[in-house]
Amino acid sequence: MKIAEKFTLGEEIASSVLHGIGAIISILALVLLIIKSIHIGDSWHIVSYTIFGTSLIILYTMSTLYHAFPRGTTKRVFQRFDHLSIYILIAGTYTPFCLTILRGKIGWTILIVQWGLAILGIIFKSIWIDKFVAFATLIYILMGWAIVLSIKPLAASLDPIGIYLLVAGGISYTVGTIFFIFSLFKFHHAVWHIFVMLGSLFHFLVIYIYLK
1 burial type by CB count under 10 A (0-12 exposed, 13-18 middle, 19+ buried)? exposed
188 is in an annotated binding site: no
189 is in an annotated binding site: yes
For residue 173, what are the contacts with CB-CB under 8 A and spacing of at least 6? 140, 141, 144, 195, 196, 199
CA distance 28 to 167: 23
Q: What is the DSSP string of 128-173?
A: -SSS-HHHHHHHHHHHHHGGGGGHHHHHHHS-HHHHHHHHHHHHHH
CA distance 152 to 17: 39
Task: Tell how many helices (H) and how many strands (E) occur in the chain.
Answer: 8, 0
CA distance 29 to 24: 9
67 is in an annotated binding site: yes
**Three-class SS state of 51:** helix
Residues constituting the chain: 212
Give the annotated binding-site residues.
Answer: 67, 189, 193
Give the annotated binding-site residues for Zn(2+).
Answer: 67, 189, 193
